[in-house]
Structure 1
Amino acid sequence: MSTRTLQHVIPSIPTSDGAGVKLRRSIGAQRGLYLDPFLMLDEFGTDNPGDYIAGFPSHPHRGFQTVTYMLDGRMQHRDHLGNVGDLGPGGVQWMSAGRGVIHSEMPLQESGRMRGFQLWINLPGKDKLQPAWYRDIPAAEIPVAALPDGGTIKVIAGSVQLGAQTLDGPINGSAQRLSTDPLYIDLDLPAGARHQQAIGSGHNAFIYTYEGSVTIGDGATAKALPAQAAGVLTPGEQVTIVAGAQGARLVLIAGQPIREPVVQYGPFVMNTREEIEQAIRDYNDGTLTQAAA
């Protein structure tokens, strides 16, 4: 199998979003700094409630999906469709904004640690005006397995073969109308542990290390990936990950590229400027979330 190596590193930068929630952004930190089909990856993590307590009050989206993965703490999702989801430790909320959704994400705690990720995944033009949908996935529904070299793997999206065992994530392929066929796994590796992960050969992929450090690749091709940075991988069919001296926790995310123009204006992501202007008009006149005529 052809091996992926570390192509380049996108450091995360401190920023804020919503009503002042402090976070670190890697993918999408600069306009156009995308990895098709991924538009943005935010990591949030703090023990200070002042950094998160204002949350993300009601706001619109059109044209892409949001994936919120909580490590610590609790948030609540509410949207115009009447969905209410309480996101606790280890849980995931997967939302496809499609034609339009108006939602909020607010903390369900006034103190303590809050930590997790939000990923934005683009939608192809043919799906951007489809009806919105939402799924709340508690931690108990996400498969976790021990790795042969130590540590664990958690499969949020896609399918992973681990010896004779197949781990199917709760979000998987065409069942949820996911044309990008995403793979989203969380790895917890002890010091020096080595893990080889198969990745679809046509997928773009990156690794984000949120604790410790890792080396990507073998021998002369091996390169270090520091913590709190997105490491974009070269094409290939598998990647080798080796944890550093302090161990590592990381997410590996991959998806089928869409290869269409991306025009973004804040919470709207479309293919053309004209479509963005229409989204703004629809939001202003109250028709963003209405079914197309």
Structure 2
Amino acid sequence: MARKLKPLSQFQYIPSSELSTGSFDAGKITEVKLIGFAGEPSPLLRLGPLFYWAWATARSAASIPSHPHRGFEIISYVIDGVLEHRDSLGHIDRLGPGDLQVMQTGSGLEHEEHFVTTPCSMFQIWFDPNFRQKIKERPRYKVIRDKEISSKHIGTKSTIKTLISPAGGYRLDAPVSVMDIEVGAEGRWQWHLAANTACLAFIIKGLVHGRSEHDESVARPSDGLLWATEDGLTITLQAEQDSRLLLVTVDQVPTYPLFPKPKPRS
């Protein structure tokens, strides 16, 4: 019988020096990872249905050859440059800054990625939407352009762009939300993290003070901040400089069994 998961209450500052790394195309594409592949050392093994999170950068034209995926919901979000996608379903797309690609890979597909306009940087994040059920479903694919994604201005200093959400944004089957948050210098943004959820932030640029009722830390580019709560929590982000971060929020314990992920070998 599988061990019953229990929500956690914790805070963790993850310095960029602790992120795992990887590369493709003879080192032309480099990655840093808050959450690595199965069996790969990284700061976090997983966070509920959040299974993998990488930040990839290419300084010159480079490619990742065709490779398979199945079961997972995979988002790719471009920050700079142009990324070209080709897949076994026949899709050929180019994604520019602010464009979001969603692959709900189901029974399986293959795709390849080409960093065609550089420097190019993008996030790729995998979610487990009930893997063992989803591999029985046909794969789905969607590109949402920057201009189609909802943005909300909070005061004069903050802009919240909702990429993935059950309410607003594109809805995944996994219980998650993803936001691109910009906070101007001396700006402040506050939100409430619901009970039994967790959030993980990756700092893209700037200098951010993140704090809750119990914890506080300063984060710089490529640092991570994690909050998890059983009872609910109010979190505040204060920016010393113009700052930007990607924030993922998840249910810690979904209503379905999570796909097992082996720990790295010691």
Deviation at 1:224, TM superposition (A): 2.4
Structure of larger gyration radius? 1
Residue type at the aligned position of 1:211: K
Deviation at 1:201, TM superposition (A): 2.7
Could you say which residue in structure 1 is the equivalent of 2:181? 187
The structure with the largest helix share of the pair is 1
Could you say which residue in structure 2 is the equivalent of 1:9? 14
Structure 1 alignment gaps of length 5 or more: 161-167, 173-177, 265-293
Does 1:61 pair with 2:69? yes
Distance 1:6 1:214, change over 3 A: farther
Aligned equivalents of 1:73, 1:253: Cα separation in 2: 23
Aligned equivalents of 2:226, 2:214: Cα separation in 1: 18
SS at match of 2:147: helix
TM-score by length of 2: 0.81
Deviation at 1:25, TM superposition (A): 1.2
Aligned equivalents of 1:40, 1:80: Cα separation in 2: 22
Aligned equivalents of 1:260, 1:18: Cα separation in 2: 32
Structure 2 alignment gaps of length 5 or more: 1-8
Identity across aligned pairs (percent)?
Answer: 24
1:104-183, aligned counterparts within 5 Å? Answer: 104-109=112-117, 112-124=118-130, 125-148=132-155, 150-158=157-165, 168-169=168-169, 171-172=170-171, 178-183=172-177
Aligned equivalents of 1:81, 1:67: Cα separation in 2: 17
Deviation at 1:242, TM superposition (A): 2.5
Aligned equivalents of 1:94, 1:72: Cα separation in 2: 18
Could you say which residue in structure 2 is the equivalent of 1:262? 260
How many residues were matched structurally? 242
Could you say which residue in structure 1 is the equivalent of 2:41? 30
Distance 1:72 1:261, change over 3 A: closer
| Runs of 4+ with >6 A deviation | none
Residue type at the aligned position of 1:115: S
Residue type at the aligned position of 1:253: V
Is 2:49–2:258's contact at 8 Å kept on the other side of the alignment? no
Distance 1:142 1:238, change over 3 A: farther
Q: Which moved more, 1:182-191 or 1:100-109?
A: 100-109
Aligned equivalents of 1:13, 1:224: Cα separation in 2: 20
Deviation at 1:261, TM superposition (A): 4.2
Distance 1:103 1:220, change over 3 A: closer
Could you say which residue in structure 2 is the equivalent of 1:205? 199
Could you say which residue in structure 1 is the equivalent of 2:238? 243
Deviation at 1:238, TM superposition (A): 4.7
Deviation at 1:5, TM superposition (A): 6.8
RMSD: 2.5
